[in-house]
Structure 1
Amino acid sequence: MQERKSGQDSQASLPGEECGTEKSQHGRTCSQANTGELVVVRAKRAKLIEEISYQLIDLITIISGRVEILNGRVPNAFLEDLQAIRKAAMKGMEFSKQLRLAALACRREIGVMHDLAENYAG
């Protein structure tokens, strides 16, 4: 995913509002409004990433459980295949961990942006 650079965000305006130093009818400057919108977008993105991560963990858990069940039931010729599935599941768990870290990074950005918006308004 590519994100827009912050310089592009500060030039965009809300529908019905024009950017400038004057405040909108809602009492916010254009950059304050854009910061608020960006916080909402990042929060939604973090939530989506977390949901995907948890769904991935659920699927990997099911796959790993099935591998363990099959491990004692299949002929020795298939044990190597089961080991490959187990290794792939472990890689999937690592990928899920990276997704959760990305969601955490989004949440940290939200906190930083929220703090900046409050300092700017004050």
Structure 2
Amino acid sequence: MKQISRMIATASIAALACTGFSTAALALDVDAAKDLVEQNNCKQCHALRKDKDGPSFMKTAEKYKGKPNAVDEIVKHLTSGKKVKLADGSEENHKIVKTMPPNDMAQIKNLAEYVLSIQPK
């Protein structure tokens, strides 16, 4: 009986340890996200840690830090084409992120997770 209890306890501890790791954090593919940034010319308006016409990825990460819907909010922004205000005060529709194959939500979510991962140096 003690051996079975010990096995159950060990399995429970292992399961709890696994839940400490976010599947999103384990799944982040930085190289794929950087490629998508390049393909969509995101750096024309955004930089990693410095504002340009649009906010830096770091500023966006700070804005959404700790919010449970952060990835969904960024995905919505990247896929909706909503109006954004530029640094000079003008407005334009944000470009919709293009993926190959088209509308690949896994790639877009990976990009959102990448943006959220940018930290100050």
TM-score normalised to the size of structure 1?
A: 0.30
Query: When you count strand as a share of all residues, which structure comes out higher?
Result: 2
Query: When you count helix as a share of all residues, which structure comes out higher?
Result: 1
Larger radius of gyration: 1
TM-score normalised to the size of structure 2?
A: 0.30
